[in-house]
Structure 1
Amino acid sequence: NNSLIVHINEDFYQVRACCTFKGSHFEETEYILTSFFNKNLMMEYNSTRGNWTGFTAYSIEAAKWWNRDPVDAQRRKIERKLLYNLTTIPTVKLKSLKRPNGEHTSTLVCSAYNFYPKQIRMRWMRNGKEVTTDVNYSDVMPNGDWCYQTHSHLKYIPTSAEKIACMVEHLGLSEPMFVVWDPSLPVEQQTQIAVGLCGLVIGFVIAISGIIYCITVYFLFFYGIILAPQLLEYYCFFRIFFFTV
Structure 2
Amino acid sequence: MTDSKAAGFVTLQLKFTEPAGNKFKTIACCTFKGPQSEETEYTVSYFFNKNLMMEYNSTRGNWTGFTAYTIEAAKWWNSDHLDPLKKRIERKLLCEDTLDLIQSIDNLTTIPTVRLKSVKRPNGEHASTLVCSAYNFYPKQIRMMWMRNGQEVTTDVSYSDVMPNGDWYYQTHSYLEYFPTSAEKIACMVEHLGLSEPMFVVWDPSLPVEQRTRIAVGLCGLVIGFVIAISGIIYYNKKSAAYITVN
Aligned to 1:175: 197
Aligned to 2:148: 126
Task: Letter of the 1:98 partner, please give it.
Answer: K
Cα pair distance change 1:158/1:2, threshold 3 Å? closer
Aligned to 2:138: 116
The Cα offsets for residues 100-124 of structure 1, whole Å up to 9 and x where unpaired, read as 2421111100001111111111110
The Cα offsets for residues 115-174 of structure 1, whole Å up to 9 and x where unpaired, read as 111111111000000111111011111113221111001011111111000001111111
Q: Which runs of no fewer than 5 residues in structure 1 stay unpaired?
A: 9-14, 23-38, 40-45, 48-78, 228-245
CA apart distance, 1:195? 1.3
Aligned to 1:29: none
Cα pair distance change 1:7/1:212, threshold 3 Å? closer
Structure 1 consecutive aligned stretches of length 4 or more whose deviation exceeds 4 Å: 5-8, 15-19
Aligned to 2:12: 4
Task: Letter of the 2:12 partner, please give it.
Answer: L
Cα pair distance change 1:175/1:145, threshold 3 Å? same
List aligned pairs for 1:1-245, cutoff 5 A: 2=10, 4=12, 6=14, 83=105, 85-224=107-246
Task: Letter of the 1:128 partner, please give it.
Answer: G
CA apart distance, 1:88? 1.1
TM-score (norm 2): 0.59
Q: Number of residue pairs matched?
A: 173
CA apart distance, 1:83? 2.2
Tell me if the contact between 2:120 and 2:127 (Cα under 8 Å) persists in the aligned partners: no
Q: Which runs of no fewer than 5 residues in structure 2 stay unpaired?
A: 1-8, 17-27, 36-85, 87-96
TM-score (norm 1): 0.60
CA apart distance, 1:84? 7.7
CA apart distance, 1:199? 1.1
Distance 1:100 1:5 in 2: 46
Distance 1:125 1:223 in 2: 75
Percent pairwise identity: 73
